[in-house]
Amino acid sequence: MEPDQRRSGRVDPASDRAATRPGLYDAVLLDRDGTLVEDVPYNGDPEKVRPVPGAREALHRLRAAGLRLGVVTNQSGLARGLFTADDLRRVNARVEELLGPFDTWQICPHDERAGCACRKPAPGLVHAAARALGTTPDRCALVGDIGADMTAAGAAGAAGILVPTPATRPAEVAAAPHVARDLLTAVAAILDRAALAAGPPSRPPRGRVLVVRSDSAGDVLVTGPAIRAVAAGAEGVVLLCGPRGRDAAALLPGVDELVEWPLPWIDGAPAPVEPADMRALTARLAGLAVDEAVVFSSFHQSPLPLALLLRMAGVARISAISDDYPGSLLDVRHRVPDGLPEPERALSLAVAAGFALPAGDDPRLRIRTDAVPPAPAGLGGPGYVVLHPGSAVQTRACPPELAARIVRVLTAAGHRVAVTGGPDETELTARVAGDAGIDLGGRTGLAELAAVLAGAGALVVGNTGPAHLAAALGVPVVSLFAPTVPYGQWGPYRVPAVRLGDAAAPCRDSRATVCPVPGHPCLSAIEPGRVLAAVRLLGVPATAPPATAPLTPAEPPPATGRPAVGGAQAGVTAVAATGGSAR
């Protein structure tokens, strides 16, 4: 991918055009074989084209919603001489005859030995389709039936939805950001998500609004699009956050005033509830003189204790997501389906409360770049890789031994690697950086980390706040994602990303903060070579001559030599070894 696409959040003019349109998506891209039509290996015969059940209706619904449609398909049978270009044209014409027209066809004719940039799991077809449709990959959803489709979608920054077939491997299903049982269900999910995140146009601003997001930096950052929506419809925005989210809150656009207060029903290591503290908080809330409040929370948190204090403080209108019966505590009680990405879940609450993102503001994460200080010295020019090994939550940190090996492999391949960590992590960063990496341990608070990330080609990190900070800067992420929480909800949002780690590990969905499995196998089994392959898949060129084999910026992503990068992987078998992806 070209650098301007990687940074589409800042400089790509196509994204400005796209951002003038409302809603989540401009286009839906679909894999052909196994997704739109039954998979007939290397099919060159139009008579053998059979749409999957519901395909016609599913595509009709997407077209009726104003979404453009594209096909992204690997057709290596061409390179292998198993059918001719004419056969392929006739087969594709038959697909359109049965399913209606598509706005673009993007076809990789190569086999895996070609090392091209288009064969999925490489993201080239997704980039090409988005370009052909006048949009950007982050405004596309991609539906496919195997892990290579999901990896290509993720590496381009598109939203992947897997519709498994009997040929789809369980590990591919486990790693997918979203799974639907059939094409119609996938399309319904795309349209439902789009409807939840978009509201009627902004009305005249209606007073001062308190928004609330307690908990950590990552939680605050993923609430950013929702807070911008509120800001677009309010005369002033006050953000109530907790001590662990304060630094992130200070980076959010649209916030006029910050109030920091720990909430004992939210904090993971809460202090006892002190009646005097609650009275003081209530008085502070009353003193804010807000006209209404929107209380954001995760699905396992309750907004109701705060809603009670807000009522006691005289706040007239309160909105929140609550499955628990709120009685008269809430004016807008919003309900959402399970599995929404956290930024969309929060945005849907803002929409339900009557606030929508204005035209021109895409629902990606953002921070105030004016709040970012200069980067620390010693990094050289932009294009380095940042590795952030730590996390406040043990299960989400990259095991130090693995992190050190990743630094050695990346630097040997010609990448500059900066290792970041907080003041309490200097021992860790020194050990991880070793002789080869640039140790920035203790030199980066959240704002300084943003400054470092702003010049990075990619960030390698667990499921922790800095991943969302990178997403807010448009910087691609190699996500070493412990599956304790769902990737589709907490993975890097609307930014190119490659998922690594065993998505089917026994800790899956446990929400454990300390790994329950000896050896932390979901992350510690990651091969450092897969991190290097992921960095290449994300289009990050090496900045120095490698220690061993030559690698130039023009070298295509390793779609062939190491085909199992990312979402498709579960730490063992190569994607290209599966039946489905051999086309």
Taking CB under 5 A as the binding criterion, the range among 77-85, 118-126, 163-171, 392-400 that sits at the site for Zn ion is: 118-126
Q: Is 118 exposed, middle or buried (0-12, 13-18, 19+ CB in 10 A)?
A: buried
- Nearest to Zn ion of 119, 468 (CB atom): 119
CB of 110 to Zn ion, least distance (A): 4
**DSSP readout, 373-417?**
PPPPTT--SS-EEEEE---SSGGGSPPHHHHHHHHHHHHHTT--E
CB nearer to Zn ion: give 119 or 334.
119
Write down the least CB distance from residue 108 to Zn ion, Å.
Answer: 3
Are the beta carbons of 494 and 154 closer than 8 angstroms? no
Closest approach of Zn ion to the CB of residue 140, in Å: 19
* Owner of token pair 């803002």: 350
We find the least distance from the C-beta atom of residue 76 to Zn ion, in angstroms, to be 8
Q: Which amino acid is at 109?
A: P
| Residues near 531 by beta carbon (within 8 Å), at least 6 away in sequence | 406, 409, 410, 460, 478, 480, 500
Q: Minimum Å distance from CB 151 to Zn ion?
A: 15
**Options 107-115, 473-481, 521-529, 567-575: segment touching Zn ion (CB under 5 A):** 107-115
Least Å distance, CB 271 to Zn ion, is 57
Tokens matching residue 436: 């080869």
187 binds Zn ion (CB under 5 A): no
CB of 117 to Zn ion, least distance (A): 7
Q: Cβ closer to Zn ion: 118 or 189?
A: 118
Residue of the chain from 29, 62, 116, 352 that contacts Zn ion (CB under 5 A) = 116
Query: Binders of Zn ion: how many residues, by CB under 5 A?
Result: 5
Q: Which residues of 133-151 are buried (b: 16+ CB within 10 A; e: fewer)?
A: bebbbbbbbbbbbbbbbbb
Q: Is 108 in the site for Zn ion (CB under 5 A)?
A: yes
Q: Which is nearer to Zn ion, 32 or 388 (CB)?
A: 32
433 Cβ contact list (under 8 Å, min separation 6): 407, 417, 419, 439, 441
Give 501's DSSP letter: S
- The residue with tokens 């919003």 is 334
Q: Is 583 in the site for Zn ion (CB under 5 A)?
A: no
Q: 27 φ, ψ to 5°?
A: -150, 155
b/e map 217-252, b = 16+ CB within 10 Å: bbbbbbbbbbbbbbbbbbebbbbbbbebbbbbbbbb
Kindly write out the interface string for residues 64-103 of this chain, putting x where it contacts Zn ion by CB under 5 A and - elsewhere: ----------------------------------------
Binds Zn ion by CB under 5 A, chosen from 19, 62, 118, 263: 118
Q: Is residue 119 a contact point for Zn ion (CB under 5 A)?
A: yes
Whether the CB-CB separation of 488 and 341 falls below 8 Å is answered with yes
Selected range binding Zn ion among 105-113, 348-356, 364-372, 414-422, rule: CB under 5 A: 105-113
Residue 289 — left, alpha, or beta (φ > 0 → left; ψ -120 to 50 → alpha)? left
Residue span binding Zn ion (CB under 5 A) among the ranges 104-112, 137-145, 513-521, 523-531 = 104-112
Q: What's the helix, strand, coil split of the chain in %, to 5?
A: 35, 15, 50
Return the SS3 of 332: strand
Residues labelled catalytic: 31, 33
CA distances from 312 to 31, 263, 304, 309, 316 (A): 54, 16, 12, 5, 10
Considering only residues 32, 110, 120, 405, which one is a binding residue for Zn ion as defined by CB under 5 A?
Answer: 110
Q: In the complex, what is the shortest distance from the CB of residue 563 to Zn ion, in angstroms, rounded to a whole number?
A: 13
Which of 114/195 has CB closer to Zn ion?
A: 114
Evaluate the omega torsion of the peptide bond into residue 53 and state whether it is cis, within 30 degrees of 0.
no
Least Cβ distance, residue 566 to Zn ion (angstroms):
17
Residues 561-580 that bind Zn ion (CB under 5 A): none
Residue 91 or 116: which CB sits closer to Zn ion? 116
CB 257 within 8 A of CB 237: yes
The C-alpha atoms of residue 524 and residue 522 are separated, in whole angstroms, by 6
Q: Which is nearer to Zn ion, 37 or 559 (CB)?
A: 559
Query: CA triplet 68, 161, 362: central angle to 5 degrees?
Result: 55
28 binds Zn ion (CB under 5 A): no
Question: Which residue, 78 or 231, is less far from Zn ion as judged by CB?
Answer: 78
Measured from the CB atom, is 116 or 367 closer to Zn ion? Answer: 116
Give Cβ neighbours of residue 182 (< 8 Å, ≥ 6 apart). 52, 53, 54, 163
Selection from 141, 142, 152, 179 nearest residue 163 by Cα = 179
Q: Which stretch binds Zn ion (CB under 5 A): 13-21, 119-127, 295-303, 402-410?
A: 119-127
Residue numbers at the binding site for Zn ion (CB under 5 A): 108, 110, 116, 118-119
